[in-house]
A and B are shown apart, each in its own frame.
Chain A
Amino acid sequence: KNQVEQSPQSLIILEGKNCTLQCNYTVSPFSNLRWYKQDTGRGPVSLTIMTFSENTKSNGRYTATLDADTKQSSLHITASQLSDSASYICVVSDRGSTLGRLYFGRGTQLTVWP
């Protein structure tokens, strides 16, 4: 069964600190993995995309890693800001269907305190 599991479920950190969010997936055949940020009351917005051959990709203070062998990904946030408070969702796409089906994790709810 294609699944995406994220940990931790929630996380509280102080402003300026770093944190790492985890994503494990069983989706096959794998096409790509995206990390989305979803602010409260808003739709998700894509932060990074990782394809099979990519190990690391950065977008400002966000750095995503992918280990396609172990089917794990992480999202590292550096020097957190209050605006980073949001839900971070790991989304894996398969290439076995015309639709390009997406499989969503439940998200990690990050709260950054001043």
Chain B
Amino acid sequence: EADIYQTPRYLVIGTGKKITLECSQTMGHDKMYWYQQDPGMELHLIHYSYGVNSTEKGDLSSESTVSRIRTEHFPLTLESARPSHTSQYLCASNRNGASGEQFFGPGTRLTVL
């Protein structure tokens, strides 16, 4: 099991609420990622970070934002949740090096009513 954690595991909230999905890893990895995954579909990269104070948008347009103040912590925030944000959100990390294995957290299943 990889040492990467996500909380909460499940979240059901109403439209318009602000939420933060937490992701932490204890492996000292520089690179961290957020993916969005819908049932039966491929993972889509929405944010990534090369290290502290580095954040970039991924391939899939997302209304979420991220921050990387500490190496081990990469939270994702939705300022105003909408039903279209309902999905599974997966956090991952790896060491520097293009071929490094990405280690995934268990995911957060978000439902916006």
Cβ of B13 within 8 Å of any chain A Cβ, yes or no, is no
Contacts of A42 in B (CB 8 A): 106-107
Chain A CB within 10 Å — which of B41, B48, B99 has the most?
A: B99
B36-77 interface bits toward A, Cβ cutoff 8 Å, 1 = contact, 0 = none: 000011110100100000000000000000000000000000
In the bound complex, CA of A46 to CA of B98 (Å): 16
- State the A residues within 8 Å of B (CB): 4, 9, 31-32, 34, 41-46, 49, 51, 89, 93, 95, 97-102, 104-107, 109
B102 in the interface (beta carbon within 8 A)? yes
Give which listed residue, A9, A31, A95, A102, contacts B102 with CB less than 8 A.
A102
Q: What's the least CB distance linking A97 to chain B, in Å?
A: 7
Nearest chain-B residue to A31 (Cβ)?
B99
Query: A95 — which chain B residues lie within 8 A by C-beta?
Result: 98-99
* 6 extra interface residue pairs, beta carbon distance < 8 Å, beyond A43-B91, A100-B99: A41-B107, A43-B92, A44-B43, A44-B104, A49-B99, A109-B40
A100 touches B97 (CB 8 A): yes
Residues of B within 8 A of A (CB): 2, 4, 9, 31, 40-43, 45, 48, 90-92, 97-102, 104-107, 109
Q: Which A residues lie within 8 Å of B40 (CB)? A: 9, 106-107, 109
Chain A residues whose CB sits within 8 angstroms of the CB of B42 once the complex forms: 4, 89, 104-107
- When chains A and B are docked, how far (Å) is the Cα of A107 from the Cα of B104? 16
CB-based nearest A residue for B94: A100
Instruction: State the Cβ distance, B94 to closest chain A Cβ, in Å.
Output: 8
- Cross-chain contact B107 with A104 (CB below 8 angstroms): no
Docked CA distance A106–B38 (Å):
10
Query: Shortest CB–CB separation between residue A87 and chain B, in angstroms?
Result: 9
Residue of A nearest to B44 (CB): A104
Say whether B98 contacts A43, CB under 8 Å: no
